[in-house]
């Protein structure tokens, strides 16, 4: 991915000044009475964002945190004057974490609810089932999925992923750490659907490029509830277990892995998906002490916490442990849900850049987002500075490697953005709108 460098980097004084100026302006707008915030709008009609929520099904744990994050971001956006002086309205439909229902939800957004955009889909198989219909309906479709399906060219020009990095980028950035610090011979455990297949394919390539070897690949159905039979298939030569699991039985998966290996386990490197929304203090997780995880955004407050992470946590109501402040037993999907927050601010920036007025400007919105490049660390992008590739519709950003120490995730390394770059596989801008 070619990158044009500028003198004003993400943390430069010029950018910090710009961010402070924008924040001051937003604060001034928020202090106005509600009628005054939208007084300059060409239309009083709200902008409608169709939120495709995994309210039920295997993605429900993520869905409720995607919902909380979405509502917090939109509250702040509306308090600051909305988008182009118009209020923003959320239209939520449950897709059941099901591809067929996902396509039906997209249809409802476009035809029944007259939404301006569709947004928020996470699970890869649902994205793959929904995005083609969004393309047919010419509905801008902003996914928060991590799957490589967008940047691979498998979808269409109407589908974009500007708020979260994809698996291919993540594993390219992680593989050197695994090889240099944990071991060379790896057994992979992953869910048997598109997201897991991305891990299988791209991590295998990445670790081999580092001189490592995948000695076994264990695919597990995402609805599986018992896992010991899979652990028995792990070769004795394994030096590192690489695991990424999703679904309602992730806690069972991790507990059974600990029971199987006991104190004589190999090194373990997991993607936090295997424990997203799970309390690390849960009984049976003691064996994770000293193991490593990828995190999209650190769940626990770190010593070098930014003001932007503080702002983000406060807006949603999350404590220093990544749980709901009002109920510490309710642990967030912190490594993923920032993608909702950041995507909404990308939609806002895109609509403002193209002077969005309504559905007739949908194509102009896609083109405006395609023109974006640098996204500085800010309240809009609290996870970290990013670079957006308008040709592939995929954003690139930092990754975090954390270690379990005293029952908490402590960041050991933050990878640079360029560690996740890979050659373009598509140029969506050559496709018609």
CA distance linking residue 259 with residue 38, whole number of Å: 58
pLDDT in tens, 224-235: 999 999 999 999
Q: CA-to-CA distance for 59 and 54, rounded, in angstroms?
A: 5
Q: Which residue has the higher pLDDT, 28 or 343?
A: 343
Mean pLDDT for all residues in the chain: 91
Q: Which residues of 326-348 are buried (b: 16+ CB within 10 A; e: fewer)?
A: eeeeebbbbbbbbbbbbbbbbbb
pLDDT surpasses 90 at 27: no
pLDDT confidence band for 335 (50 / 70 / 90):
very high
Query: What is the percent of the chain with per-residue pLDDT over 70, rounded to a whole number?
Result: 90
pTM score of the predicted model: 0.89
Q: What is the DSSP letter of 242?
A: E
- The pLDDT, as a whole number, for residue 211 is 97
- DSSP structure class, residue 296: S
Task: Give the mean pLDDT of 14-36.
Answer: 44
The two tokens of residue 405 are 């120490």
Give tens-digit pLDDT for 147-192.
999 999 999 999 999 999 999 999 999 999 999 999 999 999 999 9
CA distance 252 to 228: 10
Encode pLDDT of 381-412 as tens digits.
Answer: 999 999 999 999 999 999 999 999 999 999 99
Maximum Cα–Cα distance for the chain, whole Å?
69
Count, residues in the chain: 433
Q: Is 317 in contact with 326 (CB distance < 8 Å)?
A: yes
**pLDDT tens by residue, 71-95:** 999 999 999 999 999 999 999 999 9
Residue 18's pLDDT is: 38
DSSP state of 192: S
CA–CA separation, 313 and 320 (whole Å)? 8
- Percent of the chain at pLDDT above 90? 86
For residue 35, the model assigns a pLDDT of 44
Domains and CATH numbers, the chain: 13-165+335-396 (3.40.50.2300), 167-295+399-420 (3.40.50.2300)
As beta bridge partners, residue 401 has 294, 413
Confidence of residue 263 (pLDDT cuts 50, 70, 90): confident
* pLDDT score at 164: 98
pLDDT value, residue 145? 95
Distance between CA 138 and CA 403 in Å, rounded? 44
Residue 43 banded pLDDT, cuts 50, 70, 90: low
């Amino acid at each position: 991915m070619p990158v044009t460098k500028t003198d004003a980097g993400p943390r430069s004084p010029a950018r910090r000044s710009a961010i402070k100026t924008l924040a001051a302006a937003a604060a001034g707008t928020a202090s106005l009475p509600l009628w005054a915030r939208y007084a300059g709008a060409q239309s009083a009609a709200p902008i409608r964002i169709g939120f495709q929520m995994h309210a039920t099904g295997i993605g429900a744990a993520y869905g409720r945190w995607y919902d909380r994050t979405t509502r917090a971001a939109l509250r702040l956006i509306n308090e600051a004057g909305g988008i182009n002086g118009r209020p923003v309205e959320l239209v939520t439909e449950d897709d059941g974490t099901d591809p067929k229902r996902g396509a039906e939800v997209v249809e409802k957004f476009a035809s029944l609810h007259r939404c301006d955009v569709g947004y928020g889909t996470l699970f890869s198989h649902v994205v793959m089932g929904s995005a083609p219909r969004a393309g047919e309906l010419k509905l801008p479709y902003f996914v928060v999925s991590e799957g490589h399906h967008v940047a691979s060219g498998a979808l269409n020009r109407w589908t974009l992923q500007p708020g979260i990095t994809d698996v291919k980028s993540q594993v390219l950035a992680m593989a050197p750490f695994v090889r240099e610090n944990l071991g060379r011979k790896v057994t992979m455990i992953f869910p048997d659907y598109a997201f897991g297949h991305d891990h299988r394919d791209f991590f295998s390539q990445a670790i081999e490029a580092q001189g490592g070897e995948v000695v076994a690949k264990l695919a597990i159905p995402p609805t599986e509830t018992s896992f010991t039979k899979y652990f028995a298939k792990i070769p004795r030569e394994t030096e590192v277990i690489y695991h990424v699991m999703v679904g309602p039985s992730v806690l069972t998966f991790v507990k059974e892995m600990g029971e199987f290996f006991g104190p004589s386990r190999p090194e373990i490197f997991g993607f936090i998906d295997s424990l997203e929304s799970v309390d690390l203090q849960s009984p049976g997780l003691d064996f994770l002490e000293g193991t490593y995880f990828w995190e999209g955004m650190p769940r626990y407050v770190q010593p070098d916490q930014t003001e932007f992470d503080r702002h983000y946590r406060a807006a949603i109501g999350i404590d220093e442990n990544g749980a709901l402040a009002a109920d510490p037993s309710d642990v967030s999907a912190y490594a993923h849900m920032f993608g909702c927050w950041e995507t909404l601010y990308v939609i806002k920036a895109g609509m403002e850049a193209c002077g969005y007025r309504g559905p007739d400007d949908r194509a102009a919105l896609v083109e405006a987002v395609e023109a974006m490049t640098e996204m500085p660390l800010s309240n809009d992008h609290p996870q970290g500075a990013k670079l957006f590739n308008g040709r592939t519709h995929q954003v690139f950003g930092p990754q975090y490697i954390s270690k379990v120490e005293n029952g908490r995730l402590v960041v050991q390394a933050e990878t640079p953005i360029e560690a996740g770059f890979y050659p373009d596989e598509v140029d969506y801008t050559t496709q018609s709108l």
